[in-house]
Structure 1
Amino acid sequence: MNNDIKLIGRALCGLLAVLSPAAVQAQTGLTPEMCRSMAVSHNAKMVNAKNAVAEAEQTKKEAFTNYFPIVSATGMGFNADKGMAKMQLQPDMAMEMCKNGLMGGVTAVQPLFAGGQIVNGNKLAGLGVDVSKLQLEKSENDVELTAEQYFWQLVALNEKLNTLHVADTMLTRIYRDVNNSVNAGVALKNDLLQVQLEKNDNMSNRVSLEGNIAVARMLLAQYLGLEDSSFVLVSDIRVGEMPESPASLKSDHRSALQLTPEYRLLEKNVEATRLKQKLDVGKNMPTVSVGAGYMYHDLLDCSRSFGVVFATVNVPLSAWWGGSHAIKRRKMEVADAQTELTDKSQLLVIGMQKAWNDLNTAYTQLGIACKSIEQAAENLRLNNSYYRAGTATMTDLLKAQTQYTQSRDRFVETYCNYKILTLQYLQLTGR
């Protein structure tokens, strides 16, 4: 009995040494925080999101140029087969003019009033920059969460492989003891075969796990922008030990709503639809511009240059027929955006509450998993003693060993899910 306890203790200590920070100090270790940071810096999705911000800033600069005068230059030269003007001097005498010539000029037109189109167009372009930055923040959250999921998925696979090593150690010792008993004639060979079959199952599971670990390593390395997948993971998981309670992470969900990029994007959508409505109103209002120009022509064998100033007023009379309907449509879009803001805000708060419930459920399940490991270890110890005493079968012993392995795997899966849910809750509450 004491030997069994020592064996389990040595196996657990070996597992702790594998993942302890001291064991990886001599190597490059990846923590969840490092994975999130590297993913944000190298992931393709983040590159595209940053480019979208740069594109929006260029659009804003382009819209700002509409405040400045519109400068244009024109030039024309012609040579006709006949003069464009003909003067009859006498019945039998005529003179053709403007058979060839040159014309050109430069004008600058400054809009004075355009129904607010320029001002609102610049506001809409500035809003586009804000939206792209919020989309960048949202993409950053998505990338960080995905990196976290890949990290803990790999941790879970590694832990399951370590659990198989523990099971192999136990089965090897059981096989040795049973083999000695069979040779001594105090145990059945069938018991030995059962142990061997269990060892074969472990070998098969190990092959599958090692293949999954190799793929998971490659996937994480690709997501982080690493060329080499031979990295070491550094996590705080301790099989059978509870992490810190999530109670300190609780926040007021309605207050946290305004901190989330999703809510701020909904607000920007309302603002954008209002600006688009103002732009449609501006399209149907008069526009006033002033301008100046310098002209030159060489016609009638006479060249001349002159300056000119002018003003223009454009009143879109018939445009109101369709424009009034466009304005009404925009008003409906503003109302729709307001409704969407209210509806999705409520859903975001519900999502926060669900994430909090899921996080607490995972923590409760962790407590149950911890007790299950303790109970499974004790059950394994007792069945091993009972088998030696001849009051339990090999089937009972192997079942107890399987239950112990499953309890460890269940703890690992729940722990990794708990860590992912923790980050998800922090993101949903704007942290």
Structure 2
Amino acid sequence: MKTRFICLSLLAGLLSVMQAGAQSLTLEECREAALEHNRTLRDSRYDLEAALQTRREAFTNYFPQISASGGAFQAQHGLVQADFGLSIPPLGEMNLPVSLAKRGLFGSVTAVQPVFAGLKIVNGNKLARLGEEVGQLQLRRTEGEVREQTDTYYWQIVSLKDNLSTIEAVERQLAEIHRQVELSVAAGLVTRNDLLRVELRQQEVASNRLKVENGLKVMKLLLARHIGVDWHGFDVATSAWDEPEAPGNCYVPVEEALDRRAEYLLAEKNVEAQRYQKRMERGKRLPTVGVGAGYLYYNLTDKDVDDGMVFAQVSVPISEWWGGAHALKRARIREEQAENDRLQAREMLAVEIEKSWSEVQEAYAQILLARRSVDSATENLRENRNFYEAGTAPLTDLLDAETLYTESRNNLTSACAAYRTSLARYMRVTGR
């Protein structure tokens, strides 16, 4: 009895693990998982954190620069060698050799507060703060790209699953046609050639099923890797295609969309960064002023000596002036180039937004056309089935009608997926 209980417990645990491993995620759940686990997005967060640390590091340049040094030495001879002449009347002139500082200790501590550094510290901090803002914009851009890719994978999976549903419906129809043709062959009404045509069509549908199933497996693997979940037992929660809303409510003016695009804001930040770089280059040619205090200790003659001091220092980078004019001109050229890149980026992004909106409208129109094609193909299939059953139409017409129905259903599925994907792209290129 105890062994039986243990076996039942293990079986229940295994079932719970299998159920926990199986995941069926909606589109919103896929988006949330991608924002949390996507590796590309994680790298962007690391870059932003690194930019934050760079800004904090730059702020420490406002603090005094403190340094300490010390040491000890042992020389073979005294470092100070001298002869002192002595005049002793009874003895005459004498030279007395003196050797000092054969061994010793020394140490010092200094603190220098920069008063003026050619505005390099101020501009360096502004540049570091700008780097953090760039990191935030890059993170926002990556989030939009990851979201768009998530939607693309998701709707491709939905499309393939809908194709499978179409194939299943066709397989049922062909099975019924096969049954009817078998009866007709047995009754001698038709030849076995008609039966072979049906079987060939069934084999073609079976081949298409295999391709769709393999494509569905690959797309699930890609989506699972993209959103960072285990692909074992992974699936997406889908329902029948809803009637898509007209895209008019999603439209935003191009100028408004441009001001929200991370790519354009990054181009503006690049202009600002080049402006700070020019100021930094100019600051290299300016003098630097600092004040400081220090403490000095040494013992060279077996006597401790210590003292404090205050000082001021001025440094003039004279050699920097030689090539400074050319370096400053180069910085101005980089600034003008960044401004030109900003204008070009605005133009190209405007074209991308307009193109994306046109694709959305086209995809929506394709859905309307595909729906009418499905209605026509469905009616055509119904009539040909009735004609075949009545004996007024050949089997080839019925199989052709079934093929047209399958193609129209697949075209509608592709149009719906293309519309959802193009809409996701339009939301990204308009900064939403």
Give TM-score, length-normalised by structure 1: 0.91
2:150–2:226 Cα contact (<8 Å) kept: yes
- Offset of 1:284 from its aligned partner? 0.7
Give the equivalent residue in structure 2 for 1:106: 109
Question: Does residue 67 in structure 1 map to residue 67 in structure 2?
Answer: no
Q: Against the structure 1 CA distance between its residues 67 and 108, is the aligned structure 2 distance closer, same or farther, given a 3 Å change threshold? A: same
Structure 1 residue identity aligned to 2:401: A
- Select which of 172, 192, 195 maps to 1:192: 195
Q: Deviations over 1:367-414 (max 9, x none)?
A: 000000001111111222222333322222111101100111111111
2:220–2:231 Cα contact (<8 Å) kept: no
Question: Does residue 95 in structure 1 map to residue 98 in structure 2?
Answer: yes
User: Matches of 2:270 and 2:423 in 1, distance apart?
Assistant: 29
Identity %: 41
The answer for unaligned runs of 5 or more in structure 1 is 1-26
Question: Does residue 286 in structure 1 map to residue 287 in structure 2?
Answer: yes
- Offset of 1:228 from its aligned partner? 4.2
SS at match of 2:259: helix
Give the equivalent residue in structure 2 for 1:406: 407
Task: Report how many aligned residue pairs link the two structures.
Answer: 403
Give the equivalent residue in structure 1 for 2:383: 382
1:221–1:229 Cα contact (<8 Å) kept: no
SS at match of 2:171: helix
Give the equivalent residue in structure 2 for 1:48: 43
Give the equivalent residue in structure 2 for 1:395: 396
User: Matches of 1:86 and 1:179 in 2, distance apart?
Assistant: 124
Structure 1 residue identity aligned to 2:49: A
Give the equivalent residue in structure 2 for 1:326: 327
- Offset of 1:82 from its aligned partner? 0.9
Structure 1 window deviating more from structure 2 (302-311 vs 387-396): it is 387-396
Structure 2 residue identity aligned to 1:320: W
Structure 1 or 2, whichever has the larger Rg, is 2
SS at match of 1:73: strand
2:287–2:314 Cα contact (<8 Å) kept: yes
- Offset of 1:255 from its aligned partner? 1.6
The answer for unaligned runs of 5 or more in structure 2 is 1-21, 86-93
- Select which of 16, 34, 37 maps to 1:39: 34
User: Matches of 1:353 and 1:116 in 2, distance apart?
Assistant: 44
Q: Trace 1:111-190 onto structure 2 (pairs within 5 A).
A: 111-190=114-193
Structure 1 window deviating more from structure 2 (128-137 vs 196-205): it is 196-205
Give TM-score, length-normalised by structure 2: 0.90
Structure 2 residue identity aligned to 1:341: R
- Offset of 1:263 from its aligned partner? 1.0
- Offset of 1:32 from its aligned partner? 1.7
User: Matches of 1:114 and 1:89 in 2, distance apart?
Assistant: 49
RMSD value, Cα: 1.4
User: Matches of 2:79 and 2:147 in 1, distance apart?
Assistant: 74
User: Matches of 1:172 and 1:141 in 2, distance apart?
Assistant: 46
Give the equivalent residue in structure 2 for 1:79: 74
2:370–2:408 Cα contact (<8 Å) kept: yes
